[in-house]
Amino acid sequence: MAPSPTFRIGIDLGGTKTEAIALDLAGREMDRQRVATAKGSYGGTIATIRDLVEGLEARLGAIGTVGIGIPGAISPRTGLIKNANSTWLNGKTFDRDLEEALGRKVRLANDADCFTLSEATDGAGAGFETVFGVILGTGTGGGIVAHGRLLAGPNAIAGEWGHNPLPWPSGDEHPGPLCYCGRRGCIETFLSGPGLARDHGGTMNAEQLAASDSPEAQAALQRYERRLAKALTKAHQHHRPPCHRPGRRPVQAGTAVPLDPKPLGRACLLRPRGYSAEIARSRRFVGSARRRLALAHQGLTQPRHIPI
């Protein structure tokens, strides 16, 4: 008989980095490791996750259960990954391939869903009936929690706002950049880290823009603020949550894009309670990831496989 797991392993699979954390059964951090994501390589992504899990287990001398927050979602109709901005995952049996590589059951859940459920449980959204969580990173994702339960929807994409068109586009924002989904002007093409860098002209990445005092960088950040305000206003009109929680920022952990909250407040005609215009710094990101990964392991965000 195989030994029972003695800790939890959570993995945050992002577009630029993949981070693993080990938590004991009381939720205390035991170890963590962060590596670059194997961009464009499906086999490389599986190997990266396998190596992270095996490395943690070797250092801790025990085995753990595994939960993974991913961009995109498992299609309830096909069981394949869909809607991932890490496009090499789309159309793949990612959960089954990981289980084969690791030799155990693996829990997968959308990263924005995990983040939102985490914040609604014991983070910035705790105590609110409805929470709309937003991830701003390599992509732009979202999730909704109502009365303590995640809303996944029949297509497992409830709360996803990144592929809606940017609301009220100005002349130079229309038709907008081409998105990997095949459409133009998606919110993600403006509000993701690569979108911010592209808007500046592509000579600096989002992290460099955040640290720059140049007039061009500051102008790009001001355009970003206005676009974020418009997009959040439209989301608020649809969902009317009492709490918005933006999470991450479109740069690496440790550097925050210095967003001005004033355009965001002006755009929300009814500013929701608990709304924070601050894009989380490294400490907040780590805390959110810790809860998100633990909840993903427990399967609280696992979408149901409902044929449609």
Q: What is the pLDDT of residues 88-115, one digit of tens each?
A: 999 999 999 999 999 999 999 898 888 8
pLDDT of residue 269: 41
* pLDDT, the chain, mean: 80
Residues 80 and 119 occupy one common structural domain: no
Q: Cis bond leading into 175, ω under 30°?
A: yes
pLDDT of residue 233: 86
At residue 114's C-alpha, the angle toward residues 271 and 244, to 5°, is: 0
Q: What are the counts of helices (DSSP H) followed by strands (DSSP E) for the chain?
A: 9, 11
Residues 153 and 55 occupy one common structural domain: no
Q: How confident is the model at residue 16 (pLDDT cuts 50, 70, 90)?
A: confident
Please compute the mean of the pLDDT values over residues 140-162 and round it to a whole number: 89
Structural tokens at position 291: 């809860």
pLDDT of residue 291: 46
What domain range is 268 assigned to?
113-287
Residues 32 and 125 occupy one common structural domain: no
Is 111:103 a contact under the CB 8 Å cutoff?
no
Residues 220 and 230 occupy one common structural domain: yes
Task: Count how many domains the chain has.
Answer: 2
Lowest-confidence segment of 1-5, 74-78, 184-188, 252-256 by average pLDDT = 252-256
Residues 166 and 256 occupy one common structural domain: yes
